[in-house]
Structure 1
């Protein structure tokens, strides 16, 4: 079996898995500081976040970037928004 996207680190990782991992690593409050979007700031949930991120490419790109950075090394305080 050959890998269809060998250079894509996000291949096979769902958006839901990314959001759940980031939420478990940072919590909603810190996630809202790093990526200041409403779905992380007001009454956050996995479901509402997925709905927004699937419809908003720029926000999804920020989540993907943070996820990749977190795989390399989790962020420490002070957080800088993406």
Structure 2
């Protein structure tokens, strides 16, 4: 898979913004994240892009974990919001 997100979680203080999100994206697939305000869409994308670290779970790009020294992986990512 191109992108694997497994059971990621993120909390801001006592408020859990993302709770156990998992998804897989293969080459050629298109992904849309839909939900109401406060559902955790932006936080999920920020974790996928490596802008913030998940409190739990894992993000993998091309099978490699997006944590620690991930600058070479981050250089392969791009984001076009809206």
Q: Given the two structures, how large is their TM-score scaled by the length of structure 1?
A: 0.31
When you count strand as a share of all residues, which structure comes out higher?
Answer: 2
Instruction: Select the structure of larger CA radius of gyration.
Output: 1
When you count helix as a share of all residues, which structure comes out higher?
Answer: 1
